[in-house]
């Protein structure tokens, strides 16, 4: 009886370690690592998978998948790991709206159709192309119908703010300055990088990013919304008409 309990506790400890790796956004399950061994166990041992899933659920997390980049955990709304507005306390209201718009813009640009979620290869996204896409979508977003306090209203306001922002402001050191759309997109990619959802594609240029499997699974799991759906449709149409 004691041996059985000890075995269970060993499994619980291993499950906790795997969840911890998933919460460390930049951890990678490289060959020969403890992370890789635990990930392989999750994929092949049903009992261990159940323990991990149950532990994650108790922490307010959901296991979305285990691609090559590692275990992908999504926080449940209201849970301890959910993103809160306090996490963006340095932003004013307009900047938060633009941040949200840029996030769904990147998602729509990279994954315009559901079939795109089935492709495990990382997506390459150019910062300048995202800006061009969002600017082309302003009228579409302004046409969103919805009353005060709805996501559609926030999309309309965000589009108006975005349209009024200059594309580029430079600082005295030649960097992009706060208050322009390119800086807003750059900062959003930086935030995604902190979440393990994107990384710079340095060999392809300073403004090109890889979107990881983590981002793909999180977008696929999201509830979407009218604004995201409209952007995805617009992106699909533009892909079909662009050679």
pLDDT (tens digit per residue) in 29-45: 889 899 999 999 999 99
57 and 104 co-located in one domain? no
In a domain, 80, yes or no: no
Read off the pLDDT band of 62 (50, 70, 90): confident
Are 18 and 97 members of one domain? no
Cβ–Cβ under 8 Å, residues 15 and 55: yes
pLDDT tens figures, 183-220: 999 999 998 888 888 889 988 888 999 998 888 888 88
Q: What is the pLDDT of residue 180?
A: 94
The backbone region for 104, taken as left when phi is positive above 0, alpha when psi lies in -120 to 50, beta otherwise, is alpha
Assess whether pLDDT exceeds 80 at residue 2: no
Q: Are residues 46 and 107 in the same domain?
A: no
> Mean pLDDT over all residues of the chain?
84
Q: Which residue has the higher pLDDT, 104 or 221?
A: 104
**82-138 confidence digits (pLDDT tens):** 665 455 566 778 888 899 899 999 999 999 988 888 877 778 999 999 999 999 999
Q: How far is CA 47 from the centre of its chain?
A: 29
Same domain, yes or no, for 209 and 132?
A: yes
Name the domain count of the chain. 2
233 and 123 in one domain?
yes
Q: Say what the pLDDT of residue 139 is.
A: 92
Token representation of residue 113: 């159709």
Q: Is residue 21 part of a domain?
A: yes
Q: Residue 134: inside a domain, yes or no? A: yes
User: Rounded to an integer, what distance in angstroms lies between the CA atom of residue 112 and that of residue 145?
Assistant: 21
Whole-number pLDDT of residue 33: 92
* Residue scoring higher pLDDT (81 or 157): 157
Query: Bridge-partner residues for 121, per DSSP?
Result: none
Domain that includes residue 165, residue range: 85-241
71 and 105 share one domain: no
Residue 155 zone, left/alpha/beta (φ > 0; ψ -120 to 50; rest):
alpha
What are the DSSP E strand ranges found in 41-179? 61-65, 72-75, 123-126
* One domain for residues 17 and 91: no
What percentage of the chain carries pLDDT values higher than 90?
Answer: 39
Say yes or no: 37 and 61 in one domain.
Answer: yes
Show which of 75, 94, 115 is a domain's final residue: 75
**Assign residue 122 a region: left if phi > 0, alpha if psi is -120 to 50, beta otherwise?**
beta
Contacts of 133 (CB under 8 A, 6+ apart): 105, 108, 109, 235, 238
Q: Are residues 70 and 90 in the same domain?
A: no
- The pTM for the full model equals 0.75
List CB contacts of 42: < 8 A, sequence separation 6 or more. Answer: 18, 48, 49, 52, 66, 71
Query: Cα–Cα distance between 190 and 93 in angstroms, integer?
Result: 19
Q: Output the pLDDT for position 88.
A: 58
Whether residue 224 sits in one domain with residue 191: yes
Contacts 24+ apart (CB under 8 A), 133-138: 133/105, 133/108, 133/109, 133/235, 133/238, 134/101, 134/102, 134/105, 134/162, 134/181, 135/162, 135/163, 135/167, 135/181, 136/234, 136/238, 137/105, 137/230, 137/231, 137/234, 138/162, 138/163
Q: What percentage of the chain reaches a pLDDT higher than 70?
A: 88
């Amino acid at each position: 009886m004691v041996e059985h309990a000890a075995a269970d506790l060993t499994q619980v400890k291993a499950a906790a370690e795997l969840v911890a790796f998933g919460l460390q956004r930049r951890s990678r399950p490289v060959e020969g690592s403890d992370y890789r061994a635990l990930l392989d166990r999750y994929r092949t041992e049903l009992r261990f998978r159940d323990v991990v899933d149950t532990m994650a659920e108790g922490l307010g997390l959901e296991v979305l998948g285990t691609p090559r980049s590692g275990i992908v955990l999504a926080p449940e709304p209201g849970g301890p790991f959910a993103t809160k507005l306090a996490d963006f306390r340095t932003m004013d209201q307009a900047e938060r709206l633009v941040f949200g718009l840029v996030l769904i813009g990147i998602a729509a640009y990279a994954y315009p159709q559901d079939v795109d979620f089935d492709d495990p290869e990382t997506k390459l996204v150019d910062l300048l192309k995202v800006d061009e896409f969002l600017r082309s979508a302003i009228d579409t977003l302004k046409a969103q119908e919805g009353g005060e306090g709805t996501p559609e209203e926030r999309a309309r306001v965000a589009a108006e703010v975005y349209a009024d922002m200059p594309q580029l402001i430079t600082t005295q050191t030649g960097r992009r300055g706060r208050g322009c759309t390119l800086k807003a997109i750059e900062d959003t990619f930086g935030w995604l990088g902190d979440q393990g959802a994107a990384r710079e594609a340095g060999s392809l240029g300073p403004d090109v990013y890889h979107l990881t499997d983590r981002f793909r699974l999180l977008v696929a799991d999201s509830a979407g919304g009218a604004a995201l759906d409209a952007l995805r449709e617009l992106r699909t149409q533009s892909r079909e008409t662009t050679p």
